[in-house]
Amino acid sequence: MKIRHHLSDKLLMAYSAGALPEAFSLVVATHISLCDECRARLASYDAVGGAVLEDTPDVAMSSGSLAATMKLIRERAAADVGPSPRAPEPTALGMTETVLPAPVREYVGGDIDAVRWRPLGGGVRQAILPTAKDARVRLLHIPAGVAVPDHGHRGTELTQVLRGAFRDEHDRFGPGDIEIATEDTHHTPVAEPGEDCICLAATDAPLRFNALLPRIAQPFFRI
Amino acid sequence: MAQDADKDVQEMVAQILAVRDRRDEAAFAALFVHFAPRVKGFLMRSGASEALAEDCAQDVMATVWNKAHLFDPSRASVATWIFTIARNRRIDAIRKARRPEPEDLDWGPEPEPDQAEVMALQQDSARLVDALEKLPEKQRRLIERAYYGDLTHSEIAEETGLPLGTIKSRIRLALEKLRHAMS
Ligand SMILES: [Zn+2]
C-alpha cells in the first residue's frame, strides 16, 4: 500500500498528548495501523511526552506508597485481572485479509460484514460508530463513480480511505490515504470508477445528514 | 551533552529489563522512586486532585510491573513508555474517555534487539529531554501544556521546534528492518 497522504504533525502530537476527541483518535489509530511512517512519527511524539514526564517536577508520594503498589501487584496477580491475551489477528494466522483495521473492528464488533449500514440515498450508506459526542465518526460506503455526500466542512474533517479511492478537483486519495479538510476546504470528492470506496470519516462539527434526509429531493450530491 | 543523562537512561533500561526478566523488586523500587513522583506531578498538572493522582500513580507503576514484557528498548525509553501508560490512565480515569489504539504490529518471535540500536535510541531520547529544556520558555510551556492535556487539539501548534528527525528515522529504520525480517 503506497500511502501519499499522511497525518499532520498537529494531529499526531494531539493524539500522543491524549488531546483528541475519541472519534478523531479512532481515525488516527486507524491510519497508524496502516502506515508505518506515521507509526514512527507517533513514536517520536511519544518520546516528547517521555521528555515532558522526565522534566515534570516531583510531587512526593505518600509514605508506604511503594508497599501499597507491591500489594496492588500481588492482588492483581492473584485475581489475574490483567487483560486476557488477545486472540491472534486473523491476518496473522494467514487467514483472509480483513477490510477494517483492528481499531475499527473493535467499534463495529467485527469486520465489514458486521457493519449495520443505513442508506443515505444514491446508493451511499453510512454507519455511525458509538463514541463520545464531542466529535462523530462514521463509516461511509460510496459506490464506484458516485459523489461523496456533501455535508459542508464546518469543523475539521478527517477522511481515511480503507478500500477503493476517491478523487476531487485537486488530488486522489487511495487505500491508506487520509484527507484532512478544514472549514476552508471546498471540493467535490467522487469515488473512482471500478471499486466501491469505503472510508472512515470523523468531524467535530455536527453531522447534517439527518437534517437533510427529509429534503432528499434537493441536490444532495454534487456530482 | 551530559554523559550522566546517557548513563541514566541506560541504567533505567537495565532496571526495567530486570523487572521484565527476573521480577526484580529492588530494580522496580528504583524505578518507582524515580517515576512515581513524576507521574503523580504529571497527573496533578493534568487536573487530578492529589488523592486521585496518588492512586493513579500507584496504578501506573503496578501496570509497569505487569506489562514489563511489552517494553522494547529498541523502540522507546523507559520514560516514554511510562508516559504512554500515565497518559492512558489520565484519559481513562480523569477524562473518562476511551482511547482507540493502533493495531499492534506483529513483531514475531522476539529477536534480541541490537545493542547499538538500543543505545542510539536511548541516547536520542536523552537528547530530546535536553532539547526540551533548552527551548525558549514560552515554547516549552506550550509543549508541556499540550502533554498535560491542557490544550485542545485545535490549540496545538503545527510547529514545535523540537528536533524529532533523528529519533524518527531511528524508529523508522527499526520498523523497516522488522518488516524485512517478516517478509
Ligand atoms: Zn501516514
Rounded CA gap, B45 and B108, in Å?
38
Rounded CA gap, A50 and A56, in Å?
10
Contact status, residue A118 vs residue A126, Cβ threshold 8 Å: yes
**Contact across the interface for B80 and A50, Cβ inside 8 Å:** yes
pLDDT of the residue at A86: 53
pLDDT digits (tens, 9 = 90+) for A4-29: 999 999 999 999 999 999 999 999 99
Q: Is B115-182 CATH 3.40.50.11540? A: no
Question: Can you list the positions of beta strands (E) in chain A?
Answer: 118-121, 124-129, 136-142, 157-163, 166-167, 172-173, 178-181, 190-191, 197-203
pLDDT category at A222 given cuts 50, 70, 90 is very low
- The set of cell numbers assigned to A78 is 492473584
DSSP character for A195? S
How does DSSP assign B50-111, residue by residue?
Answer: HHHHHHHHHHHHHHHHHTGGG--TTT--HHHHHHHHHHHHIIIIIS------PPPP---S-P
- pTM for this one? 0.89
Residues whose CB falls within 8 Å of the CB of residue B61, separated by 6 or more in sequence, listed in order? A69, B31, B32, B35, B36, B39
Contact status, residue B149 vs residue A19, Cβ threshold 8 Å: yes
Amino acid at A36: D
pLDDT of the residue at A34: 94
Question: Which residues in chain A have their CB less than 8 angstroms from residue B103's CB?
Answer: 33, 89, 101-103
A–B interface: beta-carbon pairs under 8 A: 213
More confident residue, B156 or A151: B156
pLDDT category at A213 given cuts 50, 70, 90 is very low
pLDDT of the residue at A93: 47
What is the CB neighbour count within 10 angstroms for residue A60? 12
pLDDT of the residue at A11: 94
Residues whose CB falls within 8 Å of the CB of residue B51, separated by 6 or more in sequence, listed in order? none
The CA–CA distances, whole Å, from A26 to A21, A101, A205, B87, B142 equal: 9, 10, 16, 16, 25
Rounded CA gap, A49 and A16, in Å?
7
Residues of chain A with pLDDT > 90: what percent? Answer: 65
**Contact across the interface for B128 and A50, Cβ inside 8 Å:** yes
- The set of cell numbers assigned to A124 is 451511499
Does any CB of chain A come closer than 8 Å to the CB of residue B25? yes
Contact status, residue A198 vs residue A163, Cβ threshold 8 Å: yes
Does any CB of chain B come closer than 8 Å to the CB of residue A223? no
Q: Do the domains spanning B2-101 and B115-182 agree at the CATH topology level?
A: no
Does any CB of chain B come closer than 8 Å to the CB of residue A131? yes
What is the CB neighbour count within 10 angstroms for residue A204? 19
**Contact across the interface for B29 and A66, Cβ inside 8 Å:** yes
Mean pLDDT of A216-220: 38
What are the φ and ψ backbone dihedral angles of B149, each rounded to 5 degrees? 80, 25
ipTM over 0.85: yes
**Contact across the interface for A69 and B32, Cβ inside 8 Å:** yes
Q: What is the DSSP pairing of strand A157-163 with strand A166-167?
A: unpaired
**Contact across the interface for A56 and B149, Cβ inside 8 Å:** no
Rounded CA gap, A153 and B68, in Å?
44
Least confident of A96-110, A148-162, A198-212, B158-172: A198-212
- Residue B101 Cα to ligand 1 middle (Å): 15
Q: What pLDDT tens digit does each residue of chain B (183 aa) get?
A: 456 777 788 899 999 999 999 999 999 999 999 999 999 999 999 999 999 999 999 999 999 999 999 998 988 999 999 999 999 999 998 878 899 999 987 655 556 778 888 888 888 888 888 888 888 888 889 999 999 998 888 888 777 778 888 888 888 887 777 677 665
- The CATH number of the structural domain formed by B2-101 is 1.10.1740.10
The CA–CA distances, whole Å, from A22 to A26, A118, B55, B152 equal: 6, 22, 24, 13
pLDDT of the residue at A206: 62
Q: Which domains does chain A have, with CATH numbers?
A: 1-55+100-223 (2.60.120.10)
pLDDT digits (tens, 9 = 90+) for A172-207: 999 999 999 887 777 778 999 999 999 999 998 765
Tell me chain A's radius of gyration from C-alpha atoms: 21
Per domain, the residue ranges of chain B are 2-101, 115-182
Rounded CA gap, A158 and A182, in Å?
9
**A13-A14-A18-A22 Cα dihedral, nearest 10 degrees:** -140
Rounded CA gap, B150 and B142, in Å?
9
- The set of cell numbers assigned to A196 is 466501491
